[in-house]
Amino acid sequence: MAAVAPAPSPVTLVLERGRRFSESSLWDLQRAYFEREGARAWSTGTVPHYITCNPYLAAAYAEVVLAFLADCDELDRSRPVYLVELGAGSGRFAFHFLKRLEPLLAASPLRDLTLTYVLTDLPERTVEGWRTHPWFEPLVACGRVDFARFDAVVDEEIALIGSGVVLAPGMLANPLVAIANYVFDGLPQDCFAAGRGRLSERLVTLETSCPGLPPDAPEQLAHVDVTWEEAPVGPGRLADPSAAAVLEAYRESDTETTILFPTAALRCIRALERLSGGPLLLLTGDKGHASAAELPGEEHAPSIAVHGSVSLMVNYHAIGSYVRLRGGLALHPSHTAAHLTVAAYLLGGAHDGFRDTAAAYTRAIDDGGPDDVYTVKKALELHFDSLPPDQLLAFIRLCGWDAKIFLDVLPTLTACVANAPATLRADLRDAVERVWDSYFPIGESRDLAYGLGRLLYELGDYTGALTYFQHSLGLYELDAHRAYALASCHGVLGDRALASAWLDRALELDPAFAPALDLRDTLATL
């Protein structure tokens, strides 16, 4: 028997060796990915975003923000309050948030307050996508929304594109609200091993299994292998005294841990604090560790998730310690989050001056908040096809008329229409309107408008169905299915000319499309 030759060893290329993690080229690849992809990073589903861009989370944030503004004394009604979202990505969270905040504000003593919501991100393509989004146009026209390019790692000012205003230290007349969802997990971090009087830095080496790719190509993120080596930590490693004190506390801890240290996140918080010059509320949701007990043991290397971009766990425990050292208030979940840690940080005011904010955080986020609802959703979605329609509608209402959930249950709801009583049919029509009102399109493959039109058609509301099929046509390219849907509506509404015209278009696009062929035969006999 001939000997079997061993498989050749994979060829690898060292991209860097023994670097501080916060200075790794990994972060440059990360930036290059988002610069290239723009909104496609989210519309294709490559980068996860649903958990931080849904109506329920937005409603919880709106409640906390309103309480914070109520806690702040002497608001200047003649000047706007700025709400700045870092790494606003698809723009969907901003839309949901304003939908939920505005009615709360209108019913409160702060109804005359002027708010400007500023979406920020670094990639120019992303910002341009917001500027041309039709859902934002009326909000921009009335001054409720503006946009800016902002680098959370280095920038100290925020230049608004629409109004031309530059938010800089010393110029804000009112408190600042900042929102950072799925942001800190993708900013540069450092890595240390600490505890029992010992502190060492973990330096990173990157090797690629695709040496044929350019070293700076974003595709390298999917092929990079990360290894670590220990190095001593010299004096003055961190220039920020508060950050250095947080790191020193880890050295003196009785527990040995691997510390992902949020270097860039802390710098960003310090910049926001300077920018505010007064009360600051930062709301942030991410996968992370909020308590010392959740931190990984010293033997665990950091886990780096790759999904087009890269992300890591966020050390909210370190961020909370930093905020407290700076005289602020850190609000963390009282339990270990299953999927999403949401934290609130308050700086620039006395702790007892934020009582309503703290109470709102407990009520809206900690006690049955976004993480719990998402956990329940993950369990229920395994059974969507077997739940009765009244239970499905109850869950959709609970989740703030969430379009994704509605699309997930739409086949089940559509199948029950034939035997639905009048009350359920009325509830379904109401749900269609509310879900559409809460929807912010980002070019995803699933067509909500078409699905809503199909449901209304089954309900016998042909005029309503036609409206939503036309919405679909405004968001997606014409295909045989959409042309056939329009032909069907016009046909049942008695407009044979338009029905025939759309039917011709359907058959031009797909000459073998069976439903269109059947409808052509039906129209010919009328």
Quote the pLDDT of residue 160. Answer: 98
Do residues 363 and 418 share a domain? no
Residue closest to 143 by CA, chosen among 79, 212, 54, 66: 79
φ, ψ dihedrals at 89, nearest 5°? 55, -120
Q: Is 368 inside any structural domain?
A: yes
Q: What is the pLDDT of residues 346-363, one digit of tens each?
A: 999 777 789 999 999 999
Q: Is 460 inside any structural domain?
A: yes
Among 347, 374, 401, identify where a domain stops: 374
Do residues 322 and 276 share a domain? yes
Quote the pLDDT of residue 523. Answer: 79
φ, ψ dihedrals at 153, nearest 5°? -85, -35
Q: Is 497 inside any structural domain?
A: yes
Quote the pLDDT of residue 300. Answer: 80
Do residues 318 and 350 share a domain? yes
**Domain of 217?**
13-32+188-260
Among 327, 354, 374, identify where a domain stops: 374
- Mean pLDDT across 191-201: 96
Q: Is 8 inside any structural domain?
A: no
Q: What is the pLDDT of residues 290-330, one digit of tens each?
A: 999 999 887 788 888 888 888 999 999 999 999 999 999 99
Residue closest to 70 by CA, chosen among 360, 321, 402: 360
Quote the pLDDT of residue 4. Answer: 52
Domain count, the chain: 3
Do residues 326 and 361 share a domain? yes
Which tokens sit at 360?
């709102």
Is a pLDDT exceeding 60 seen at residue 55? yes
Cβ contacts of residue 108 below 8 Å, gap of 6+?
66, 70
Do residues 43 and 26 share a domain? no
Is a pLDDT exceeding 90 seen at residue 111? yes
Q: What is the pLDDT of residues 145-170, one digit of tens each?
A: 999 999 999 999 999 999 999 999 99
Q: What is the pLDDT of residues 250-267, one digit of tens each?
A: 999 999 999 999 999 999
Is a pLDDT exceeding 80 seen at residue 341? yes
Which tokens sit at 29?
């690849």
Angle at 81 between CA 79 and CA 84, to 5 degrees: 140
- Mean pLDDT across 436-464: 97
Do residues 146 and 270 share a domain? yes
- Mean pLDDT across 184-213: 95
Percent of the chain at pLDDT exceeding 90: 87
Is a pLDDT exceeding 90 seen at residue 525? no
Stated length of the chain: 526
Which CATH number does the domain housing residue 323 bear? 3.40.50.150
Q: Is 167 inside any structural domain?
A: yes
Q: Is 4 inside any structural domain?
A: no
Q: Is 397 inside any structural domain?
A: yes
Residue 366 carries which DSSP code? I
| Angstrom distance (rounded) from CA 375 to CA 102 | 28
Which CATH number does the domain housing residue 416 bear? 1.25.40.10
What are the counts of helices (DSSP H) followed by strands (DSSP E) for the chain? Answer: 19, 18
Angle at 501 between CA 495 and CA 506, to 5 degrees: 120
Quote the pLDDT of residue 526. Answer: 63
- Mean pLDDT across 85-98: 97
CB count in 10 Å sphere of residue 419: 7
Among 221, 243, 260, identify where a domain stops: 260
- Mean pLDDT across 271-296: 95
Residue closest to 98 by CA, chosen among 80, 118, 112: 118
Q: Is 1 inside any structural domain?
A: no
- Mean pLDDT across 200-214: 93
Do residues 163 and 225 share a domain? no
Do residues 63 and 182 share a domain? yes
Band (pLDDT 50/70/90 cuts) for residue 1 is very low
Do residues 479 and 420 share a domain? yes
Quote the pLDDT of residue 248. Answer: 97
Q: Considering the entire predicted model, what is its pTM?
A: 0.95
- Mean pLDDT across 421-428: 97
Q: Give the chain's mean pLDDT.
A: 94
Do residues 434 and 397 share a domain? yes
Quote the pLDDT of residue 10. Answer: 60
Do residues 47 and 182 share a domain? yes
Q: Which helix (H) or strand (E) holds 298?
A: none
The widest CA-to-CA distance across the chain, in whole angstroms, is: 90
Do residues 443 and 325 share a domain? no
Quote the pLDDT of residue 436. Answer: 98
| Angstrom distance (rounded) from CA 484 to CA 482 | 5
